Copies of this chain bind each other. A is one copy, B any other.
Amino acid sequence: MGGQEIEQLIRLLGRLPGFGPRSARRVALYLLKEPQTRLAPLAHAMERAGNAIKTCSSCGNLDTIDPCHICSDPLRDQGLICVVETVGDLWALERAGVHRGVYQVLGGTLSPLAGIGPEDLDVAPLFEKLNKGTVREIILALGATVEGATTMHWLMDQLAPYGGVTVSRVAQGVPMGGALDVLDDGTLAAALGARRPA
């Protein structure tokens, strides 16, 4: 299938998340069919993004400036910190436009089985801010998984000494637009357990 340059491109594309050999070949063909207008611009955008990318030292977000656009925005509430697992979670909350504070990206979840302990989570900036006394409220927006719950309980233990700080967690329940009969038992139990007056 062509020279080794083409084979190498297909091999690397096949490692992308959601890719298999078939989609890798499809994308490679699409790019190689128009090298000037399709392949070159994407390669350049990758290089530019790769050179520009920085991890925010204040929250762990990926951005082209450090501190990131969110941490350096004077209109964001620096006293309200939303703790998320990944940058993807942060981006999802930003797209929804539902959080007016800042973030702390943990970069993962506790997982004793996978050997991921507290030292692997990026929490130092959060506790620095807590020790400075600039934090008013912390929202734990972790995934509804075993690892997410483990991480949340560990964090709540760590946050217990900071008496003046409100700690909350995102609600669990029926997703907007979701039918009940397709939901798993855990979600149904959580939605019933957290019922409110109508």
Contacts and interface: CB of A to CB of B under 8 A. Distances in A.
Contact of A17 (B27, B35, B43): B27
Number of this chain's copies in the assembly equals: 2
Interface string A46-76: 1111111100000001111100110000000
A5 B49 contact: yes
Given A32-B50, A32-B53, A45 B9 contact: yes
B64 A29 contact: no
A6 interface: yes
A49 B12 CA distance: 12
A3 interface: yes
Contacts of A30: 16-17
A93 to B, nearest CB: 11
Interface residues of A, number: 53
16 contacts: A2-B53, A3-B52, A3-B69, A5-B45, A5-B48, A5-B51, A5-B64, A6-B64, A8-B45, A8-B48, A8-B49, A9-B45, A29-B86, A31-B50, A40-B47, A46-B46
Interface of A: 1-6, 8-9, 12-13, 15-18, 23, 25-33, 35, 38-43, 45-53, 61-65, 68-69, 86-88, 91, 94-95
